[in-house]
Amino acid sequence: MSVPGSLADRLSSALAAHGLILRGGFNFDAGDSAPAGPSGRPARAVMLAGNAGAAYWPHFRRWRESRPADLANPLDTWCREVIGRVARDFGARAVSPSDRPFLPFQQWAMRAEGLRPSPLGILIHPRYGLWHAYRGALLLDAGLPPPHADKPIHLCDACIGKPCMKACPVDAYTPAGFAYEDCLDHVRGPKGGPCRTIGCLDRNACPYGAAYRYAAEVQAFHMKAFAKL
């Protein structure tokens, strides 16, 4: 749910300086196993930071140029750095989607923004389509004000043809799930050129959020990281 009030506004401005956005937040319930907040006690609330489209890309690129060419996981490192700094300024504790054991970022996003998964597993947003992601979360010791009640539409419900299920040359996505190994074999193989250069063909087949579609350069970067090319 969208978070009302000035904390959200100030946090949004701090994130915008890096091409990132606030993705909503929520208060943990008594039954949740909340991660530790900045005090070390279970956090009372979480706010998610992420991207819609690839607005972060020029910021990340500039930072990347000043770092060693062989830096491992550069995007993760950049996100930890900038979101970590924002979190410190706001008295919060930052966590990353890559932290082990994995934190339930998609479950948090469903609670924070009311989104639901597309057939590809990626949550679909009414405006951004499949072109968004989560780059970090801020854990807070204090609870958030009551959220605005807004329930976004789920675009996939009314999408009859489901083109996202028809473009993959090896049908890696099916109602049974994502055949990760089949996808990897194809992406790394002789016929995987299109996936390597313009990104996942299934994801690109979704007609929604076209204005937020990542540029080919960005998609190629993510695919390289995913397939360890």
Dihedral sign of CA atoms 99, 104, 110, 113 in order: negative
Q: Does 226 bind ligand B12 (CB under 6 A)?
A: yes
Which contiguous run of DSSP H or E holds residue 94?
Answer: strand 93-95
Residue nearest to ligand B12 (CB): 121
Q: Does 124 bind ligand SF4 (CB under 6 A)?
A: yes
Q: Which stretch binds ligand SF4 (CB under 6 A): 75-83, 84-92, 140-148, 201-209?
A: 201-209
- Binding test (CB under 6 A) with ligand SF4, winner from 27, 51, 96, 118: 118
Q: Does 187 bind ligand SF4 (CB under 6 A)?
A: yes
107 or 197: CB nearest ligand B12: 107
Which contiguous run of DSSP H or E holds residue 50?
Answer: strand 45-52
- Binding test (CB under 6 A) with ligand B12, winner from 23, 93, 132, 213: 132
Tokens of 143: 């609870």
- Binding test (CB under 6 A) with ligand B12, winner from 28, 56, 57, 134: 134
Using only C-alpha atoms, what is the Rg of the chain? 18
Buried b / exposed e along 198-222 (16+ C-beta atoms within 10 A)? bbbbbbbbbebbeebbbeeebbbbe
Which positions lie near ligand B12, rule CB under 6 A? Answer: 97-98, 102-107, 121-123, 132-134, 178, 180, 183, 200, 203, 222, 226
